[in-house]
Amino acid sequence: MRQVQNNYSSLHPEMYKSDIRILKANKILSILEDYLADLSNLELLDIGCAGGYTSFVLSEKFKKVTAIDIDCKAIEYAKNNFAKDNITYQLNNLMDLDFKQESLDVIICSHVYEHVPDSQILMDKIYWLLKPGGICYFAAPNRLMLVECHYNLLFLSYLPKWLANYYVRLSNKGTQYYENVLTIWGLKKLVSKFEIIDYTSKIIKNPERYNALDMLVKGTFKYIISNIIVRYLLFIVPTYIWLLKKPL
């Protein structure tokens, strides 16, 4: 069994940079509103809510938000800074959450699958919790990304664990490489119970519409290259943004 990383926010203080976190939250919101339109009567679960930025932004549109994380410092920060009547913050993991089967409309699972001991158990639980027709916002890093997104190290995710651990320590980025990242083919197998609605290419083609101008700006060299990659080399895109729909 893989180890659980309980102190992610302590190792990654960028989790508390409000400008970055709110930009990401608005991107999630724009995608959900694009697909679902009216969110006002829906109940949301935010898995791995960290400091609460995303949960707070989404609570402006959703009827009720439950936000969970196993990082006690992050949950305390969220409670102290982003308390709201329709948000419940819990120091909890998904397996111990007290929700009935098929009780949730929307679940956020953004950069979470790679941190848990068993990603298949995670996705099976999400499937179990969602109502038929319910949606999971799934942001998933790709093992074939050239620069690993958590540690900003070239080719880190390509390496066997023992060598990756050494690489992380040598770079003074941490004590070990906890994450277990999948390729696009592994991810599709992981979420095979769901219908995949791919927003990756939509965001790259139209970053302004999806509040992704922090990533791309139309007409720039990066924008042109990104669109070529997503069209012809999808298997090396650093992160996939999918809506996972539970069949009716």
Please tell me whether residues 135 and 170 are part of one structural domain: no
Average pLDDT score, the chain: 93
Q: Assess if residue 207 is contained within a domain.
A: no
Cα dihedral 36, 37, 43, 47 sign: positive
Sorted by sequence, the CB contacts under 8 Å of residue 55 that are 6+ apart come out as 46, 49, 65, 67, 78, 82, 87, 89
Residues 95 and 169 in one domain: no
Residues 170 and 188 in one domain: no
Are 13 and 77 within one domain? Answer: yes
Q: Is 212 part of any domain?
A: no
Same domain flag for 50 and 138: yes
Domain match, 124 and 163 both:
no
Tell me, rounded to whole angstroms, the distance of Cα 231 from its chain centroid.
Answer: 23
Which residue did the predictor score with more confidence, 168 or 4?
168
Residues 84 and 154 in one domain: no
**Per-residue model confidence (pLDDT) at position 7:** 63
Confidence of residue 4 (pLDDT cuts 50, 70, 90): low
- Residue 33 lies inside a defined structural domain of this protein: yes
| 165-210 residue pLDDT tens | 999 999 999 889 999 999 999 999 999 999 999 999 999 999 999 9
User: Considering only 12-16, 81-85, 182-186, 226-230, which range has the smallest mean pLDDT?
Assistant: 12-16
What is the pLDDT, as a whole number, of residue 146?
93
> What is the number of domains present in the chain?
2
The CATH number that applies at residue 45 is 3.40.50.150
Query: Distance between CA 63 and CA 46 in Å, rounded?
Result: 13
- The answer to whether the beta carbons of residues 183 and 144 sit under 8 Å apart is yes
Residues 83 and 104 in one domain: yes
Overall size of the chain counted in residues: 248
Provide the pLDDT for residue 1. 45
76 and 187: one domain?
yes
Query: Is 211 part of a structural domain of the chain?
Result: no
Residue matched to tokens 């119970």: 193
Q: H/E element holding 19? A: helix 18-36
| Parent domain of 84 | 8-144+181-200+238-245
Percent of the chain with pLDDT over 70: 93
- Whether 230 is covered by a domain: the verdict is no
Question: Which pTM was predicted?
Answer: 0.93
Q: What is the percent of the chain with per-residue pLDDT over 90, rounded to a whole number?
A: 86
58 and 84 assigned to the same domain: yes
